[in-house]
Amino acid sequence: MNIKLLRLLTGEEILAEILSSGDEVCRIKNPIRVIVVPNKVDPKTPSIGFSPWIEFSDDKEFTIDKSHIVVIMNPITEFVNQYNSMFGGLVLPKSNLILPG
């Protein structure tokens, strides 16, 4: 699986499997939106959550015009592990990164 984090022009960050990426379009599978959830106990340390990217579609694969993508980057190991546990992929060894929450 080629899991990447995409930042879109809308400001959304989505985690998805990249099926193909050409000059004009990027094909992705099982996209999920990365969201920051306020922590009611300690507002200075928000939590990270995931939600469906396109809530009202049964489609699993999407084609995005490259002009709508600001950057494609490698996600942190914890994101990849969470994604893989949601979609049945391989869980990677834990990194030394400390996340708030």
The answer to whether residue 29 sits within a structural domain is yes
The answer to whether residue 97 is domain-embedded is no
Query: DSSP character for 95?
Result: -
Convert the pLDDT of each residue in 9-47 to its tens digit: 999 999 999 999 999 999 999 999 999 988 888 888 888
Q: What pLDDT sits at residue 68?
A: 97
Q: How confident is the model at residue 97 (pLDDT cuts 50, 70, 90)?
A: low
Distant-in-sequence contacts of 85-94, Cβ < 8 A, 24+ apart: 86/30, 86/32, 86/50, 87/17, 87/30, 89/1, 89/3, 90/1
Q: How many domains does the chain have?
A: 1
Full domain range(s) for residue 80: 3-87
